[in-house]
Structure 1
């Protein structure tokens, strides 16, 4: 009996310690597995990213200015005589040639004045003829001393007066002819007709505040744009030449960007600058001339002038290699240990799809081209050096 009790007691102790033994054994096994796994999975290798080496190169940048277009001649068409419009021969927007009829003013009054002037000329010439006959008749009588010389002098004075009357009558006739011609309003140059505010039957006269229309001659088009005072000072500093005229002459041909964003196919030339600043605008006005033989440009249109600026050496960074942070532009520069660090840039302009760097980088520096969203300061990479010319074929990684 005592042996059975002892055996039972002994087995009960084994049942008490057996679960604790297995727990400790499992913990040791898990620790061993964890240690073994860590030793078999080393740290991930640095990622491979394309890297470019920066260098200075010649680039062309552009300054853009808002511009308005005007015909080389915007001519106000006004009546030269009073009267009622009886005919309007053109419509708004028509292209007309020099000398083409535009408007007709009632000419009855002016025709009558012309006919009266013609009659006056005829009467004056008849009087002159009579005076000439008198002089011719009296001249031999004076020579033969039949009559006194006073009578001949009186006849010659009458002849001079008759000649003056003829000249005056002819002048009146020419004035009447001019007024009659003015009843037909003709185009003074080739161009496009603007708005016509008057209708047939309207009374018009030279003192009307509104013109009959505006004719825009557009074989050449003037494009006006303005520079601020600081831009003008920069222009004078950078352009070659001693005077403002020489600096304007040295400017390369300029481009015109139309309102829809397209480029006008022909280039223009800046040829004029106003003599003073507009105090209300704080700007000075320039004028560029563009050929318009195809009549693609119209007076009153708007656009933008692009003035090229050629730099012999500039440090450029592709926009794809930059990122924005708090309104600043950064790049990831690659150090000698292949670790990256973000650098802020000062940008002076753009050339195509590249930024022009004023400060923040130097020629020879290396920057990451793409994959910037995977990086942070201190990240190590495996550089894949590529040339800028080959970037178009790389694509986004």
Structure 2
């Protein structure tokens, strides 16, 4: 009797353990939000490194040799067109001008004498007092005297130009750069270093480059028969500064280079920005933020993706509500969404939240399905 009771208890214990193992092996499905993927038109913003220059960047160099006598401006100062910047010692050039003027006076006096000689001989030849040969010789001497006058005037003009070069003036309005030369320095037109650089920055140019594929896509978005026509349809662009702040003024792309760079395979574009407050200077760097539209694009919220070892994954849900971890290729960002180029297609469903602990092959219970909102 006791033996039968013990056997019954053992049988009940074994049955209970078997049921517990079966329950542990069959966990219940979790309920998770699911998103249906539809194609739409997306707008992405791409950033391209840009070099900033003034509309006019002029190197100021001496055109004559001499000692730098005076500096009329300071580094960073704003100057107006025609304002004096530097003065080179002009004593030797004034002496050259005085010498040229003296030579001109002598040539003009010689021309007057030659003219008088012709006037004196002309009636004598008519009266056959002197030979015609003497008159011809006098006329030739007069022509030589006139040529000497013209040559002397040219020398005076050259001396005046050289003298004027000793006062260096601003060719345009703008801001002065660094002043590497100090008062007393010896200057020469052959100096490798300029006196300074003058930048007109009422407007600034931001130069950036597009690769061939980006440029083809860029052109295809806007109507027009020529690049010039397409640029007129291009919306304003933004400039992101080196500290990641966005410049307050918007600019316009108004120039495309005539050819691709054979070394980089890229083409240069130019965006012009107003700079009336002078906040930007030539030599600044930044990034041009360019908006591009992508038709028939697949958008996935960033929060619905998982990044593992530099790869992006989503969790696909099949018809039986079984999930699979699927790698995808990201072509850009549109707001908080990723633009997916490979890995999923229209009509696919993905898990949007709570997938951190999901394993391939797990079965879920989808919440009421949402649809991706089109980005236009």
TM-score range, shorter-chain basis? 0.7 to 0.9
Q: What is residue 176 of structure 2 aligned with on the other side?
A: 193
The 5 Å alignment of 1:46-61 reads 49-61=32-44
Question: What are the within-5 Å matches in structure 2 for residues 83-102 of structure 1?
Answer: 83-102=66-85
Task: Quote the Cα distance in structure 2 between the aligned partners of 1:159 and 1:214.
Answer: 51
Once the two structures are TM-superposed, the CA of residue 312 in structure 1 deviates from its matched residue by 1.6
Query: Does residue 106 in structure 1 map to residue 89 in structure 2?
Result: yes
Deviations 1:255-280 (A, max 9, x none): 432212133432332411555423xx
- In the alignment, which of 252, 277, 281 is matched to residue 268 of structure 1? 252
For residues 295-349 of structure 1, the C-alpha deviation after alignment (integer angstroms, 9 at most, x for no partner) is: 4432212122344332121000010111223433222334445554433322222
TM-score by length of 1: 0.75
Q: Is the 8 A contact 2:93 2:162 kept in 1?
A: yes
Structure 1 equivalent of residue 268 of structure 2: 286
Counterparts of 1:92-241 in structure 2, within 5 Å, are 92-226=75-209, 231-232=211-212, 235-236=215-216, 239-240=219-220
Q: SS at the partner of 2:124?
A: helix
Q: Which runs of 5+ in 2 are unaligned?
A: 21-25
The answer to whether the aligner puts 1:257 opposite 2:240 as a matched pair is yes
Which position in structure 2 is the counterpart of 1:368? 351
CA distance in 2, matches of 1:321, 1:362: 15
- Cα 1:151–1:114 change in 2 (3 A) is same
* Contact 1:67/1:223 (8 A) holds in 2: yes
1:16 equivalent in structure 2:
none
Q: Which moved more, 1:93-102 or 1:323-332?
A: 323-332
Matched residue, 1:71: 54
Q: How does 1:326-365 map to 2 (within 5 A)?
A: 326-338=309-321, 340-365=323-348
1:29-66 CA-to-partner distances (Å, cap 9, x unmatched) read xx9xx9xxx9xxxx998655443322111112244332
- Aligned 8 A contact 1:48 1:384 in 2: no
1:200 & 1:224 partners in 2: Cα distance?
Answer: 36
Deviation at 1:117, TM superposition (A): 1.8
Q: Work out the CA distance in 2 between the residues paired with 1:248 and 1:358.
A: 31
Structure-1 residue corresponding to 2:23: none
Structure with larger Rg: 1
Instruction: Report Cα offsets for 1:82-104 as digits up to 9, x if no partner.
Output: 11111111222222222221110
> Which range moved further: 78-87 or 351-360?
351-360
Distance, in Å, in 2 between the alignment partners of 1:326 and 1:159 is: 95
Structure 2 distance, partners of 1:180, 1:238, is: 54
Higher mean displacement: 269-278 or 110-119: 269-278
Give the structure 1 partner of residue 64 of structure 2: 81
Contact 1:107–1:180 (Cα < 8 Å) also in 2? yes
Query: How many Å separate the matches in 1 of 2:303 and 2:230?
Result: 35
| 1:373 aligned counterpart, secondary structure | coil
Distance of aligned partners of 1:149 and 1:326 in 2 relative to their CA distance in 1, 3 Å threshold? closer
**Contact 2:82/2:172 (CA < 8 Å) preserved in 1?**
yes
State the superposition RMSD in angstroms: 3.6
The Cα of 1:183 is off from its aligned counterpart by 0.3
SS at match of 1:201: coil
5+ residue gaps, structure 1: 1-19, 391-397
Kept after mapping to 2: 8 A contact 1:240/1:246:
no
The structure whose RCO (Cα within 8 Å, separation 6+) is larger is: 2
Contact 1:236–1:247 (8 Å) recurs in 2? no
The Cα offsets for residues 120-146 of structure 1, whole Å up to 9 and x where unpaired, read as 222222222222222223323323333
Task: Check the 8 A contact 2:175/2:199 in 1, yes or no.
Answer: yes
CA distance in 1, matches of 2:371, 2:150: 89
**Number of aligned residue pairs:** 351
